Amino acid sequence: MRHRIQNVAIVFACIFLVLAAQEARVQIVQRQAILDRPGDPRRAQSAQGRGTLLDATGVPLARSAGARRVYSAGPALAQLVGYSSPIYGESGLEAALDSVLAPRSQDEATDLASLFGRPEGKPQSRSGEVVLTLRRDIAEVVDQALPSQVHGAALVLDPRTGAILAAVNRPTFDPNKLVAEWGKLHNRADAPLLDRSLDGLYPPGSTFKMVTASAAIDSGTFTVDNTFHDPGYYNIGGFTLHNAEHEATGTQTLTGAFALSSNVDFAQIGVAMGVDTFYDYLSRFQVGENAGLAVSVAKDNLPPAPTVSDSELAQMAFGQGSLAVTPLRMALVGATIANHGVMMRPMLVKEIREPGRPALRTVPVVWARPISGQTADTMRDLMIAVVRYRTGTAVRLPNVTVAGKTGTATHPGGAPDAWFVCFAPAEAPRLVVAVVIEDAGYGGAVSAPIARAILAASLSLYQ
């Protein structure tokens, strides 16, 4: 009997030792890895020691004030900067850069103290800070230009470096009031927490004619002097395609077809190029590829090439069919043309500063060269013509040449989404602006005036 009791005691002792070893492993060996796990609400509990997110000029966008996290840009950059909450965790750049911003204990003795149930005391915490490419002043300009009652987004970037300067969404929220308003924000059907500039997928409509025209010219399929006839419809594969409001633009050169934004002409251009050439240039423009940003970006919706019929290709050539992209994607297309055919990889982080380490500065990186400089210059001239004479006149500025392209993207269940993509000054571009307003109608009437307001105020701020 005594022998059995001893055996049972040994088994329980072994179990206790295994549990103690597991507890020690979790509390000591894995402690920091667990604490460093992004999105864990416990990471945001030490707001007092959390590092700062700065804009490109050194203005704090997210900083700690006592136990509170303060967001100086408020609703203007709410989705992209994100939030850090002890209740709701982290989002946006707050989550993506958490490993730098979160305070870390420098006293290993506190780990042992917690294992044996003793109070840890006040840890010696150190955190880093991050300088972003964002500009609070430009974000505020965009926030003022975007009507409050619409759904959509506007994004501003520098085509020379790929630096994202602002990304503003509608609807939005105030991250300084997150706790008080979370219940309403989380349950709203219009999704104010969604970053439409990076995660919204939309048919690009006629803004995608920038890609199609670039491909047609660069591949040698057409020149700007080739002519097309638009009677107001185009029959292909048992389908009949139309322009908006069944307009007919007649006989036009490629320049005229682009300026008048003829769907019928661009359907013919797409079919003449063929699937292989068209998809080659989609690949060159990185459509469907990961942008490699610090935060997640929705993947463009692009049907597999072998499944694309002539009728589908005709629709994709003018930005419809199964094609859906983000506002960031169309801003990058505009930036490639503005930057003489060179696409820079988009950037959000300018510098990372961690205690005890040299500052880590990011440098602009060439992502791709989709088209030649000559093709890009030709496309720039086509886009200048859109603004000077045709559908984009609402974006014109005094003493500044603007190049742009309108888009009116149809979709089931609502009015068309209104697009506008532009850059200025056209001769030496500094800023690219992409605007999309959901269910709003014509891009030239709705989004172009918004882009104009953004350019007018931002150009003087960004030298």
The model's pLDDT over 229-275, given as tens digits with 9 standing for 90+, comes to 888 888 888 888 888 777 788 889 999 999 998 999 999 999 999 99
Q: How far is Cα 83 from Cα 168, in angstroms, rounded to an integer?
A: 15
Q: Of 267-271, 279-283, 388-392, where does mean pLDDT reach its minimum?
A: 388-392
Predicted pLDDT at 112: 45
User: What does the pLDDT average to over 183-200?
Assistant: 94
Question: What digits encode the pLDDT tens for the residues 401-458?
Answer: 999 999 999 988 889 999 999 999 999 999 999 999 999 999 999 999 999 999 999 9
Three-state DSSP at 407 gives strand
CATH superfamily of 138-175+188-348+364-458: DD-peptidase/beta-lactamase superfamily (3.40.710.10)
User: Could you say which DSSP state residue 17 is in?
Assistant: H
Give the bridge partners for 157, in sequence order: 164, 432
Residues in the chain: 463
Sequence-ordered list of residues with C-beta below 8 angstroms from that of 80, at least 6 positions apart, any chain: 92, 93, 134, 167, 195, 197, 198, 295, 348
Cβ pair 63, 175 in contact under 8 A:
no
* Per-residue pLDDT at 123: 47
Average of per-residue pLDDT values in the chain:
89
Highest mean pLDDT among 27-36, 175-184, 363-372: 363-372
24 — pLDDT class (breaks 50, 70, 90): low
324-333 average pLDDT score: 98
Quickly count: other Cβ atoms within 10 Å of residue 279's Cβ.
22
Q: What is the mean pLDDT of residues 385-390?
A: 92
**Stated pTM of the model:** 0.87
> In the structure, what pLDDT confidence band is assigned to residue 390 with cuts at 50, 70 and 90?
confident
